[in-house]
Amino acid sequence: MKLRKLVLLPAAATLAMTFAWAGAATAATSLTLTGPIDGNTVGPQSTSNPCVIAGTECKNPDGFGYNNFTSDGAIHSYNMFSTTPTATVADSVLGTPYTVAQLTSFVGSSFDVAIDVNTTGAKSESLTLFEVLVNGSVLYNYVGPTNIGNISNNGNGFGDWTLGTISLAGLQSTDQVLFHATWTGAVDGAESFFLVNGVPAVPEPETYAMMLVGFSLLGFVARRRKQGLGNVVPA
């Protein structure tokens, strides 16, 4: 009896560790919210940068739809899923998913989600959640709430914020992908969530400092070389 207890205890511990590892392996990867983005540098929304969720008319390529949700100034909270082909999907209702093959053929295997905020009144709009679901499980997410209403480019077709980066590498071409966004504090207009490939990176202050040092060194070397040539005595 004592021997059985000694065997069972390690087995239970191993089982618990297995579940812990499985939970860690399936944990969603956090997306980074970047912005507000000044200037028209991300986008514009186009057939190359297709919408997945938008309350306005988008320029999407053939065969790639989006949730053209109903926007109303009296509606302040939204809970929207993407869909394809284009349709108006009600709040909190799942749309028809894309396949990985669809997404990679239009935007590649790695991309960001741009958010074009449309607000002219209050600056209270907040992104509360964004998720990328693959076969029903959350692969990527951003958890707010974060104020996204304080922007200068109001509903002009360019991204005011980006969420990234999403990679579909390693997934099967037939895997099914849904995008899910919830936001509150909306007062007017209609938000657009569209996919962008190759968002220009914004250098960090440290990068600027390194670039400055590099240019200074290049200038120093050029001056020394010029001085060296000037000291050469003709034969």
Give the max Cα distance, the chain. Answer: 102
Instruction: Tell how strand 161-167 and strand 32-34 pair up.
Output: antiparallel
pLDDT tens-digit profile of 94-132?
Answer: 999 999 999 999 999 999 999 999 876 567 899 999 999
pLDDT at position 190 is 84
Asked if residues 183 and 127 have their Cβ atoms less than 8 Å apart, the reply is: yes
Q: Say whether pLDDT at 91 is over 70.
A: yes
Strands (DSSP E) contained in the chain are: 29-30, 32-34, 51-54, 67-68, 77-81, 98-99, 110-116, 126-134, 137-147, 161-167, 176-184, 192-196
pLDDT tens-digit profile of 70-81?
Answer: 988 788 899 999
What is the pLDDT confidence band of residue 227, given thresholds at 50, 70 and 90?
low
pLDDT at position 218 is 60
Q: b/e for 68-85, b at 16 or more Cβ within 10 A? A: bbebeeeeeebbbbbbbe
Can you give the pTM of this predicted structure? 0.75
**Alpha-carbon gap, residue 69 to 80, rounded angstroms:** 8
Asked if residues 100 and 171 have their Cβ atoms less than 8 Å apart, the reply is: yes
How many alpha carbons lie under 13 Å from residue 151 in its C-beta half-sphere?
A: 29
194 or 21: which leads in pLDDT: 194
| Selection from 78, 119, 112 nearest residue 201 by Cα | 112
pLDDT tens-digit profile of 212-226?
Answer: 555 555 655 556 565
Asked if residues 154 and 117 have their Cβ atoms less than 8 Å apart, the reply is: yes
Q: Where are the domains of the chain?
A: 27-198, 203-229
**Alpha-carbon gap, residue 76 to 78, rounded angstroms:** 7
What is the pLDDT confidence band of residue 23, given thresholds at 50, 70 and 90?
very low
**3-class DSSP assignment, residue 64:** coil
Residue 100, sorted as left (phi over 0), alpha (psi -120 to 50) or beta, turns out to be alpha
Q: Is the preceding peptide bond at 203 cis, omega within 30 degrees of 0?
A: no
What spatial distance separates the first Cα and last Cα of the chain, rounded to whole Å? 102
140 or 6: which leads in pLDDT: 140
